[in-house]
Amino acid sequence: MYTDHIEDINDYIVIIDPYIHRKARINRSEFLSRVSDVKAIRTAVNSNYISFYITSVEDFTNIKGFYDLINKAKFSFTYYHSLAVAVKPPLFNWFKNTNFKTIEQQIIFWLASLYYFVPKKRDIMEQQIYPMLFQEIQNLVEKYYKDFPLPLFCRQPESLMDYDYDQYESEWQACHDKYLEACNSFYSDSPPDFLESPFDYKQLDSWGINDRFGIEFLEGYFSDNDWDKIILNGYKDTLRRCESRSDLWEKWKHTYGTFDQRKNPIFSFYYDGNDNKKESSNTKRKRSPISKTLKFEIYQRDKFTCRYCGRTPKDGAKLSLDHKIPYSDDGKDTYENLITACMDCNIGKSNKVINIEDIP
């Protein structure tokens, strides 16, 4: 899949392989020198690596691989020499802030609930899901839904022509509530947004969830031939191809080049892609802590509510302060420039300038 029409890369969090030079058996500075003339790198949307409709042990392995990628920058792709991936912030935060066992349980329990609440899918699930997992699904159904009777619309959808809409809505909500209750009982948490319904999953562009039960992320890579030309033989190649992207390459070079100082494989948020604004870790202006008094005044003004998503501490949000004009663009720590934001939205927004009129 070519990526010339994909949205701005600034909407993504970029993770780089900080040790890719080891594949070429050279040091970091020599590697950067070898690729100094590269202007853009080949990229593709990887839509087949992660699926939460688990049908094989390999699917489980890939989910664990993606977890290690986000948490350890461990690049385990086998087909190409991947140097970076870009993922949507909600997806990144889910894998970063949720332990792997819970992620695994969230997906498995959604599959079990789908199996129970949508009888017409049972035959195909029994055929596609590998036996050990299918047995676990049946065990979960028996344990959590044994005493919960399916409403008529689940069992006979063709009879809905004569079905009372209010009754349908009420029974649908009861099924949904039962699912959420069982989720909290099984793994002591709520499911992610795209698995919030037992009847189907949600295709969410904001998460990078596609219409094929899969997770999509943007991958930058060298093919075997590219690797030989650019690295092993010292050949310089601009890779000016229709599916190449320069913005991902620029972010990779900045993050890779500063990794020794920052020890962070994540694209640094204070960098905006403009070389004359780039700041090293040694030259960044020194920040003074925001006073507790100012923090409280802003939280109180914003009614202790995230100005982006509307969540409060009662909803599990951890509040922080964000700048309308980013600190990296000389935004000030002032009452007028600071707003209340939950940690998830703050990370997702990164260093984007916010239009004041767009904030509720």
Cα separation of 24 and 83, whole Å?
12
Q: What is the total residue count of the chain?
A: 360
Cα separation of 178 and 154, whole Å?
14
- Sign of the Cα pseudo-torsion (163, 167, 173, 179, in order): negative
pLDDT digit string (tens) for 129-176? 999 999 999 999 999 999 999 988 887 655 555 566 677 888 899 999
Report the top-level CATH class of 292-358: mainly alpha
Contact 137, 114 (CB under 8 A): no
Contact 193, 90 (CB under 8 A): yes
Q: Which amino acid is at 121?
A: K
pLDDT exceeds cutoff 90 at 191: yes
Q: Which amino acid is at 180?
A: L
Cα separation of 101 and 187, whole Å?
9
Find, among 269, 276, 273, 264, the residue nearest to 327 by Cα: 269
Tokens 């992320």: give the residue: 217
Domain layout of the chain by residue ranges = 9-88+208-277, 100-195, 292-358
Better-predicted residue by pLDDT, 242 or 65: 65
- In this structure, how many other beta carbons lie within 10 angstroms of the beta carbon of residue 23? 16
Cα separation of 257 and 30, whole Å?
11
- Across 47-61, 79-93, 171-185, which has the greatest mean pLDDT? 171-185
Predicted confidence at residue 279, as pLDDT, reads: 41
Predicted confidence at residue 3, as pLDDT, reads: 42
pLDDT digit string (tens) for 255-272? 898 888 878 898 854 434
Mean pLDDT score, 292-300:
80
Contact 214, 47 (CB under 8 A): yes
Q: Which two tokens stand for residue 34?
A: 């070898």
> Residue 104, CB half-sphere, CA atoms under 13 Å: how many?
14
Q: pTM for the full model?
A: 0.71
Q: CA-CA-CA-CA torsion for 210, 213, 217, 222, nearest 10 degrees? A: -120
pLDDT digit string (tens) for 15-61? 999 999 988 889 999 999 888 888 888 888 898 889 999 999 999 99
Cα separation of 73 and 15, whole Å?
7
Mean pLDDT of the chain: 83
pLDDT exceeds cutoff 50 at 294: yes
Beta bridge partners of residue 305, listed in sequence order: none
HEC profile of the chain: CCCCCCCCHHHCEEEECCCHHHHHCCCHHHHHHHCCCCCCEEEEEEEEEEECCCCCHHHHHHHHHHHHHHHHCCCCCCCCEEEEEEECHHHHHHHHHCCHHHHHHHHHHHHHHHHHHCHHHHHHHHHHCCHHHHHHHHHHHHHHCCCCCCCHHHHCHHHHHHCCHHHHHHHHHHHHHHHHHHHHHHHCCCCCHHHCCCCCCCCCCCCCECCCCEEEEEEEEECHHHHHHHHHCCCCCCCCCCCEEHHHHHHHHHHHHCHHHHCCCECCCCCCCCHHHCCCCCCCCCCCCCCHHHHHHHHHHCCCCCCCCCCCHHHCCCEEEEECCCHHHCCCCCCCCEEEEEHHHHHHHCCCCCCHHHCC
